[in-house]
C-alpha cells in the first residue's frame, strides 16, 4: 500500500520537475491549494523561497520538528539551519 503524506509547513519535499528536479527542499509556507513556498538554504534561501506547484513535489515522510511553531510565532529560520536539516535527511536516506 502506497502512503501519501500531505504538503505542510516543515515537511521535506523533493522536486519532481523543473531545473531543480531531484533536489530536496523544506516547505516554508503554503500559497493556496496548488502552490508551496520551498527553500533549500542555498540557491533558495528562507528570505526568497521558490513558489512551486504541489503536483511537482514528491512529499517525504520527514518533517522538521518545531518548524511550524517557530514560523507561526513569527520567528525567522536561518539558511544554515535549513542546509543542516536537509543534509541530515540526505545522509539518513543514503
* Matching residue, cell 523544506: 26
Number of helices (H), then strands (E), belonging to the chain: the values are 2, 5
Cell of 50: 521558490
Q: How confident is the model at residue 30 (pLDDT cuts 50, 70, 90)?
A: very high
Q: What value does the mean pLDDT take over residues 24-53?
A: 96
Segment 80-91 shows an average pLDDT of 96
Tell me the whole-structure pTM to 2 decimals. 0.92
For residue 3, pLDDT over 90 is answered with no
Give percent of the chain with pLDDT exceeding 70: 97
Residue that the C-alpha cell 516547505 belongs to: 27
Region 11-93: CATH code: 2.30.30
State the average pLDDT over residues 84-88. Answer: 96
Grid coordinates belonging to 18: 523543473
- Specify the long-range contacts of residues 54-57, CB closer than 8 Å, at least 24 apart: 54/7, 56/15, 56/16, 56/17, 56/18, 57/7, 57/13, 57/14, 57/15, 57/16, 57/25
Amino acid at each position: 500500500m502506497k502512503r501519501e503524506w500531505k504538503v505542510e509547513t516543515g515537511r521535506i519535499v523533493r522536486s519532481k520537475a523543473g531545473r531543480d528536479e531531484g533536489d530536496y527542499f523544506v516547505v516554508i509556507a503554503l500559497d493556496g491549494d496548488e502552490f508551496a513556498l520551498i527553500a533549500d538554504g542555498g540557491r533558495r534561501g528562507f528570505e526568497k523561497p521558490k513558489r512551486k506547484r504541489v503536483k511537482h513535489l514528491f512529499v517525504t515522510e520527514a518533517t522538521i520538528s518545531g518548524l511550524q511553531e517557530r514560523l507561526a510565532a513569527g520567528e525567522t529560520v536561518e539558511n544554515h539551519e535549513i542546509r543542516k536539516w536537509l543534509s541530515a535527511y540526505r545522509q539518513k536516506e543514503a
